[in-house]
Amino acid sequence: MEAQYVYIGLAALFGLFMAWGIGANDVANAMATSVGSKALTIRQAILVAAVFEFLGAVLAGGAVTSTIRKGIVDADLLAGSPDLLVYGMLAALLAAGTWLFVASRNGWPVSTTHSIVGAIVGFAAVGIGVDAVKWGKVGTIVMSWVVSPVTAGFIAFLIYLSVQRLILSQPDPLARAKRFVPVYIFLAAFAMTLVTILKGLKHVGLEISVKDSYFLAIVIALGIALLGAFFINRIESDPKADKKQHFYTVERVFGVLMVVTACSMAFAHGSNDVANAIGPVAAVIGIATTGTITAKSSLSPWVLLLGGGGIVIGLATYGRHVIATVGKKITQLTPSRGFAAELAAATTIVIASGTGIPISTTHTLVGAVLGVGMARGIEAIDLRVVAKILVSWVVTIPAGAFLAILFFFVFRAVLP
């Protein structure tokens, strides 16, 4: 009886630690693009992040949470000794949290998702046995890490190409932007709402038919697009600034769009990455309260609150500085470019989240940025850093695994 409180307490603590880390570092990547392009102030960015990360986690994060919770480790093998899974999940959380902390301190480009998946695979393979890992599922996840940035890059490439064709290379870019940007807003809002309704609302107990889902998504997206059009029409051109930079007012129109894609990005990030922190917590709680692994317990609301809350605390304590620094450094990502990258990344992430595959949101965003670059849209991309990101993959997975194995044996020896 006593032990289960210890487990739950530790799981909550480690989960909070990891959620804090995600809020402090990872969210910056989702939000800094908007701050950098001056579409949002830092204060607004934090507010948007807090609200939409949370919504994303609750409405669309369920599938990923369940993959992290029970998709990687074959729980049937552990039916006789549920405590091993508890130690393992605790170890994985602490390992991923620690690795993220160390890595972000040193500025290494690591992914939250890679860390936690590496950690879970590590403790399961070494601590329990190679057969305990569902290698097929792990294979799918690892494949998705290649596929998702490439997909996002391709979508971003197409979006930015369309922006150049329809707006930027035209003789009257401002009039064109005012006409087409509401269409992009509609598309962004439609993609997000549709995936949420199709994949997310089931988890909160709402069932809507596919036909109704499409209808509802179209109505909501139209509403958002009209609201956007209203704000766009209020934008007055500034002839003096336009003379210096012909696209000054045009970019301000794209700024409105960027607010929508920033919300989408925060939502997508919440749907994918919050699960990395709360998945293991949910697994530990499930076992600790029922005593068995197989029992199908639902996700307790306070676990979601823990994940969402941790991220907001991370944002408030540390994330705002990261957002400010990153925002200052990515001035090349003007609203017209930034929205293409964000929209492509957010769509890819939300679709992946819907199918329960944990992908790296930051790597997907990097892929999307490269896609804009391929459309000759970005002035300079440092390929050395892109190479470093690729290398970090190879390091993060064994590092997370090694730490998880270490903590696993410590917990098994120390905990009751």
Partner 1 sequence: MANMLANIFGSSPVQPLEKHVDIAFRCAKKLKPFFTAVVEEDWDRALEIRAEIEALEHEADNVKKEIRLHMPKSLFMPVPREDLLELLLVQDKIANRTRDVSGVIVGRRMRIPPPLAEKFLEFVNRNIDAAKQARKSVRELDELFTAGFKGAEVALVSDLIEELDRIETQTDEQQTILRSALFEIEKTLDPIDAMFLYEAITLTGEIADMAERVGRRLELLLSQ
Question: Does residue number 277 form part of the binding site for partner 1 (CB under 8 A)?
Answer: no
- Please give the Cα distance from 216 to 195 (Å, whole number): 12
Burial class (CB in 10 A: 0-12, 13-18, 19+), 236: exposed
* Residue 261, beta-bridge partner list: none
Among 81, 175, 295, 329, binds partner 1 (CB under 8 A): 329
- Please give the Cα distance from 329 to 413 (Å, whole number): 47
Q: Which parts of 358-397 interact with partner 1 (CB under 8 A)?
A: 362, 365-366, 369-370, 373, 375-386, 388-389, 392
Judged by CB under 8 A, which stretch of 28-36, 93-101, 179-187, 192-200 contacts partner 1?
Answer: 28-36
Judged by CB under 8 A, which stretch of 22-30, 71-79, 303-311, 346-354 contacts partner 1?
Answer: 22-30
Is residue 208 within 8 Å of residue 217, measured between CB atoms? no
Question: Does residue number 125 form part of the binding site for partner 1 (CB under 8 A)?
Answer: no
DSSP class of residue 110? -
- Crossing angle for the helix pair 335-354 and 62-70, to the nearest 10 degrees: 50
Q: Show the site string, 139-178: x = touches partner 1 by CB under 8 A, - = not.
A: -------------------------xx--xxxx-x-----
Question: Does residue number 239 form part of the binding site for partner 1 (CB under 8 A)?
Answer: no
Among 40, 73, 116, 333, binds partner 1 (CB under 8 A): 333
DSSP class of residue 206? -
Among candidates 30, 68, 21, 25, which has minimal Cα distance to 51? 30
Q: Show the site string, 90-119: x = touches partner 1 by CB under 8 A, - = not.
A: --------------xx-x-x----------
CB of 190 or CB of 247, closer to partner 1: 247
Q: Residue 324's CB: how many other CB atoms inside 10 A?
A: 16
Q: Show the site string, 179-218: x = touches partner 1 by CB under 8 A, - = not.
A: ----------------------------------------
Considering the complex, what minimum distance in angstroms separates the CB of residue 235 from partner 1? 18
CB of 283 or CB of 343, closer to partner 1: 343
Please give the structure tokens belonging to residue 20.
Answer: 């804090």
Among candidates 255, 247, 249, which has minimal Cα distance to 236? 249
- Please give the Cα distance from 140 to 138 (Å, whole number): 5
Is residue 159 within 8 Å of residue 344, measured between CB atoms? yes
Contact residues for partner 1 (CB under 8 A)?
25, 28-29, 32-33, 104-105, 107, 109, 164-165, 168-171, 173, 245-247, 322, 325-326, 329-330, 332-334, 336, 362, 365-366, 369-370, 373, 375-386, 388-389, 392
